[in-house]
Amino acid sequence: MILQMNDVANFLKKKGLHRIQYSELNLARLKDVEAGIKLISRKRKGGERFFVLIVPITENQFKQRIVIGDSEDKPESKVLW
C-alpha cells in the first residue's frame, strides 16, 4: 500500500480537525491524534517522504499570523494543518 497524503487528511477529519484548527486540543485528544499519525507513518515504504509537524500556538498568535500570497484554502496545497 502506498501511503497517500489523503491518509493523514482523512484521519484528521475523522478526529474532527480541519486544515485550520480553531479549537483547542486537550492533552488526551492530542496524544490520540499523535498516535494515529504515527501509525499512518509506519505504512510508508522505503524512500517515501513523510513529515508531520505539530506546533502548539495560542489563539492570539494565530490571529496575528501574516499571510502573503494565496489564502490557506488553496485545494492543491500539500500542507495539512
* pLDDT at residue 35 in the model: 92
Q: Cell 510508508 appears where?
A: 44
| Per-residue model confidence (pLDDT) at position 80 | 52
Residue pair 2/70 in contact (Cβ under 8 Å)? The answer is no
pLDDT confidence of residue 73: 56
As a whole number of angstroms, the distance between CA 67 and CA 34 comes to 27
> Would you write out the chain's pLDDT as a tens digit for each of its 81 residues?
445 667 777 887 887 776 555 455 677 888 888 898 899 888 887 778 888 887 777 778 878 888 777 665 555 555 555
List all residues 6 or more positions away from 40 whose beta carbon is below 8 Å from its beta carbon. 3, 7, 8, 11
CA 81 – CA 21 distance, rounded (Å): 7
**Domain range 5-63, its CATH number among 3.40.50.300, 3.30.70.20, 3.10.20.310, 3.30.70.240:** 3.30.70.240
Regarding pTM above 0.85, the answer is: no
Domain boundaries, the chain: 5-63
